[in-house]
């Protein structure tokens, strides 16, 4: 168990010493969201328009090399078009979305992809919830975007007496276009279909070629224009096709001509679907038709403002509020709700098909991927938008029953993405179970979790890269308690650590469904992290199949047995048994010294998820003042409110959610446990509206805005806590958490939780 003593001090709440402010009026919090933050550098953020968890994310695509995964780059000087499918903050390269692109154009018709690129300026550029605006071609074209869940509205303002047009470019993608077709209906509606490969590398290794079925996406679009175009000309692989109403091929699109008036405004309404042309049309007509641009924008902004008001703050600087609310926004973008009525996409593990959606759950996809999101994004969503969690897990169960294994990442493509390592989805499910979510079939979830913990499917075993392509748990781990280097030359040690933590999470769900024998088995397996600890070096280290530690070994080198990190970072990945880790290292003081060396020699990085929990370990071993000091330092050094304000991939809001937790002073260090580490927030008051329950949890921290980082005492509803740790259930009960802060370190919370 994780720190029995720590959990035991989570006292039963008493009567509140002061009443929490329950009826605070809504604030206009969208004013603090600047979606250009994180667009310069590795953040890979989406500056365009969407609604919370919206399937459509209509956003500019910078003119960049095809292998670029990030659609928009602040440093780019040209925009390739405005497409409708994007992922928030993904890493890697050679795959991506950016499908169904519209490109405004003036002057002579140009169709070559490089010739479509439009010069842009950041002067007057606006990126805020539900709205994006940019000036193109020296002010001759102003583009504005807004969106609903399955529909986007574009408003193009053209100036000057040149010919004006909008081009539908079905060739545009950050992946690979396989096939497309475009129809023109007699009433002027344009219908388009595109088949894309969003992950050619995975398709090559799983299916044997880059055009394989795994990773194949089919999207449909229905477009209407206002005013009606003077003419619509289609094009295909051979070029322009005059006087035709249908084209197909790999490179198709349409040219909508609007004449040469001196000044003109053109509205484009674009409905999209994963199911059919008819469903795309229905999505457009039900969500966009009948709305003005301002009407759709106001609706999107209202939806965002309602969710942003789930956390209200007092105090703090304007910069801190911009950082905070922009991060909160981004933590509510994915996964995306792709539910369609009356049908939804069901072709993940078979032929393209649509299944009837009986309205019993929403289909949440593009959780790309849970290795990133289980640590921060989903725990934050559980706290402030709990109404979506059950359906997210029902989606995982639905896909698991289709494909045989609960997926570790979801997307809108065929097959299992297999992205990242181990079984992080099990920790998401366990976290929900432990925190009281009951709107999904826990027995079905456990059946899939148990199978994925005992069995595996890996089509490329001979490559020694099992961590990149397997769908369950390698037989070597099940048999021997560790993943050998022969299974994965780059990641075997970290995979062992992850599977051990996954086992702990499965143990928690087994307890919940009354599988006592399984619970004991998985709890025992959760100690397998010890199998890759080398006492001679003091680090976790990869082993070969004969049980020998692999040499040479350098704990500072990435990839030497560790996923996206080094032995320095991954040695601390035992979130479920930190006292056990301390014992391996020689005791609590030895673990503290190891952490001191880690931070003192600058091994820590906020760029990647394996480091996310490490600053908070100090609190869990009874040295909370070091956590408190570090969090202030990390937020100040690694985040700001400029386009370069994110130093790593946002990864479906994972980095942003970390920042939200850090700034409100709560951190879920061990998803699958009911606890949060408490630190000084960046605001004097924080009000958490707990989903749709109406309850409010208030954090009061006088002096936080003055930069006081250290916690001298904590009380919950007037009752003092012994340590800066609080439970999820205590938060859900509502009430007041009061922190007494100091500008110097204190002894509060310094009891050793690893002592018997």
Domain extents in the chain: 29-279+286-301
pLDDT at site 57? 97
Dihedral sign (CA 104, 110, 112, 116) = negative
Reduced to 3 states (helix: H, G, I; strand: E, B; else coil), residue 719 is strand
pLDDT at site 116? 93
Q: Mean pLDDT for the chain?
A: 92
Please state, in angstroms and rounded to a whole number, the distance separating the CA atoms of residues 232 and 252: 13
pLDDT at site 90? 86
Kindly state the tokens that stand for 334: 């994915």
Please state, in angstroms and rounded to a whole number, the distance separating the CA atoms of residues 567 and 571: 6
Please state, in angstroms and rounded to a whole number, the distance separating the CA atoms of residues 167 and 240: 12
Distances (CA, A) of 246 to 234, 241, 256, 406, 494: 7, 9, 14, 40, 52
Vertex 286: Cα angle to 283 and 291 (nearest 5): 120
Q: How many CB atoms lie within 10 A of CB 187?
A: 7
Which portions of the chain are predicted below pLDDT 50?
A: 1-17, 67
Kindly state the tokens that stand for 424: 């992080």
Each residue of 278-321: pLDDT tens digit? 999 999 999 999 999 999 999 999 999 999 999 999 999 999 99
Please state, in angstroms and rounded to a whole number, the distance separating the CA atoms of residues 25 and 693: 16
Distances (CA, A) of 122 to 65, 116, 129, 139, 223: 21, 19, 18, 11, 28
DSSP state of 474: -
Kindly state the tokens that stand for 680: 């000084």
Each residue of 48-69: pLDDT tens digit? 999 999 999 999 999 875 545 5
Please state, in angstroms and rounded to a whole number, the distance separating the CA atoms of residues 320 and 635: 10
Reduced to 3 states (helix: H, G, I; strand: E, B; else coil), residue 683 is coil
Residues 6+ apart with CB under 8 A from 596: 626
User: What secondary structure does DSSP assign to 248-284, as a single string?
Assistant: EESS-EEEEE----SEEEEEEEEEEESS-HHHHHHHH
DSSP state of 548: P
How, if at all, do strands 719-720 and 710-716 pair? antiparallel
Q: How many CA atoms lie within 13 A of 465 on its CB side?
A: 12
Relative orientation angle of helices 318-330 and 293-308, to the nearest 10 degrees: 100
pLDDT at site 530? 98
pLDDT at site 21? 59
Distances (CA, A) of 302 to 143, 309, 455: 22, 11, 46
How, if at all, do strands 239-241 and 141-147 pair? unpaired
Tracing tokens 């969407």 back to the chain, one arrives at 50
Please state, in angstroms and rounded to a whole number, the distance separating the CA atoms of residues 407 and 395: 10
Please state, in angstroms and rounded to a whole number, the distance separating the CA atoms of residues 465 and 642: 38
Q: How many CB atoms lie within 10 A of CB 242?
A: 8
* DSSP-based helix, strand, coil % in the chain, nearest 5: 30, 25, 45
Tracing tokens 């630190």 back to the chain, one arrives at 679
Kindly state the tokens that stand for 601: 């020699």
Q: How many CB atoms lie within 10 A of CB 285?
A: 15
Largest CA-CA distance found in the chain, in angstroms, rounded:
84
Write down the pTM of the prediction: 0.95
Please state, in angstroms and rounded to a whole number, the distance separating the CA atoms of residues 554 and 566: 9
Reduced to 3 states (helix: H, G, I; strand: E, B; else coil), residue 221 is strand
Please state, in angstroms and rounded to a whole number, the distance separating the CA atoms of residues 255 and 105: 10
DSSP state of 102: E
> 29-279+286-301 belongs to which CATH class?
mainly beta
Residues 6+ apart with CB under 8 A from 208: none
Tracing tokens 């998820």 back to the chain, one arrives at 609
Residues 6+ apart with CB under 8 A from 291: 153, 299
Please state, in angstroms and rounded to a whole number, the distance separating the CA atoms of residues 643 and 435: 36
Residues 46/83, Cβ–Cβ less than 8 Å: no
Please state, in angstroms and rounded to a whole number, the distance separating the CA atoms of residues 533 and 748: 32
Kindly state the tokens that stand for 243: 């006087």
């Amino acid at each position: 168990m994780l720190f029995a003593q720590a959990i035991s001090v989570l006292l039963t709440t008493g009567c509140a010493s002061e009443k929490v402010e329950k009826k605070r009026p809504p604030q206009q919090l969208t004013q603090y969201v600047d979606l250009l933050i994180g667009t310069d550098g590795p953040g890979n953020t989406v500056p365009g328009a969407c609604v919370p968890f919206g399937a459509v994310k209509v956003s500019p695509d910078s003119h960049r090399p095809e292998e670029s995964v990030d659609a928009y780059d602040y440093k780019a000087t040209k925009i390739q078009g405005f497409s409708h499918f994007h992922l928030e903050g993904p890493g890697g390269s050679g795959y991506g979305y950016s499908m169904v692109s519209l490109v405004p154009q003036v002057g002579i018709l140009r169709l070559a992809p490089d010739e479509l690129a439009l010069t842009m300026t950041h002067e007057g550029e606006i990126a805020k919830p539900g709205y994006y605006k940019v000036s193109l071609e020296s002010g001759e074209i102003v583009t504005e975007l807004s969106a609903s869940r399955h529909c986007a509205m574009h408003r193009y303002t053209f100036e000057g007496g040149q010919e004006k047009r909008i081009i539908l470019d079905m060739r545009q993608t950050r992946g690979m276009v396989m096939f497309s077709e475009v129809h023109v209906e007699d009433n002027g509606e344009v219908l388009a279909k595109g088949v894309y490969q969003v992950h050619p590398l995975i398709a090559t290794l799983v299916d044997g070629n880059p055009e394989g079925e795994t990773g194949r996406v089919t999207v449909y679009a229905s477009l209407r224009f206002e005013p009606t175009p003077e003419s619509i000309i289609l094009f295909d692989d051979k070029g322009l096709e005059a006087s035709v109403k249908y084209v197909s091929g790999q490179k198709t699109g349409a040219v909508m001509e609007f004449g040469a008036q001196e000044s003109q405004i053109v509205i484009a309404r674009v409905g999209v679907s994963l199911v059919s042309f008819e469903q795309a049309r229905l999505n457009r007509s039900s969500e966009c038709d009948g709305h003005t641009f301002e009407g759709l924008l106001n609706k999107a902004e209202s939806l965002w403002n309602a969710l942003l008001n789930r956390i209200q703050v007092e105090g703090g600087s304007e910069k801190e509020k911009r950082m905070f609310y922009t991060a909160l926004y981004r933590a509510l973008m994915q996964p995306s709700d792709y539910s369609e009525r009356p049908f939804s996409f069901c072709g993940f593990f078979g032929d393209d098909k649509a299944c009837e959606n009986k309205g019993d759950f929403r289909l949440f996809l593009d959780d790309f991927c849970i290795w990133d999101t289980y640590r921060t994004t989903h725990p934050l969503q559980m706290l402030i938008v709990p109404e979506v969690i059950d359906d997210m897990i029902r989606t995982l169960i639905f896909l698991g029953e289709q494909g045989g294994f609960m997926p570790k990442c979801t997307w809108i493509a065929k097959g299992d993405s297999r992205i990242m390592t181990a079984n992080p989805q099990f920790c998401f499910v366990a976290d929900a179970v432990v925190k009281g979510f009951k709107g999904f079939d826990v027995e079905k979830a456990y059946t899939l979790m148990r199978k994925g913990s005992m069995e595996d499917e890996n089509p490329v075993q001979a490559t020694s890269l099992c961590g990149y392509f397997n769908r369950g748990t390698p037989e070597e781990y099940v048999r021997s308690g560790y993943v050998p280097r022969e299974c994965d030359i780059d990641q075997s040690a970290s995979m062992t650590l992850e599977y051990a933590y996954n086992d702990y999470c499965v143990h928690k769900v087994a307890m919940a469904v009354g599988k006592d024998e399984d619970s004991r088995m998985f709890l025992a397996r959760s100690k397998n992290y010890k199998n890759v600890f080398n006492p001679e070096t003091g680090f976790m280290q990869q082993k070969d199949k004969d049980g020998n530690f692999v040499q040479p070994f350098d704990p500072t080198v990435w990839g030497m047995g560790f996923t996206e990190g080094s032995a320095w970072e991954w040695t601390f990945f035992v979130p479920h048994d930190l006292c056990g880790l301390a014992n391996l290292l020689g005791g609590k003081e030895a673990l503290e010294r190891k952490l001191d060396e880690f931070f003192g020699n600058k091994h820590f990085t906020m760029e990647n998820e394996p480091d996310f929990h490490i600053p908070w370990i100090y609190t869990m071993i009874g040295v909370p003042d070091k956590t408190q000091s570090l969090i202030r330092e990390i937020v100040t050094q690694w985040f700001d409110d400029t386009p370069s304000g994110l130093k790593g991939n946002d990864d479906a809001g994972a980095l942003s959610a970390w920042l939200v937790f850090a700034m409100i002073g709560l951190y879920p260090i061990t998803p699958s446990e009911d606890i949060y580490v408490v630190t000084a927030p960046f605001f004097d008051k924080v009000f958490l509206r707990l989903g749709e329950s109406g309850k409010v949890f208030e954090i009061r921290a006088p002096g936080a805005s003055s930069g006081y980082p250290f916690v001298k005492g904590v009380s919950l509803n007037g009752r003092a806590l012994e340590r800066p740790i609080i439970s999820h259930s205590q938060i859900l009960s509502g009430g007041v958490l009061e922190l007494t802060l100091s500008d110097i370190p204190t002894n509060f919370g310094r009891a050793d939780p690893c002592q018997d």
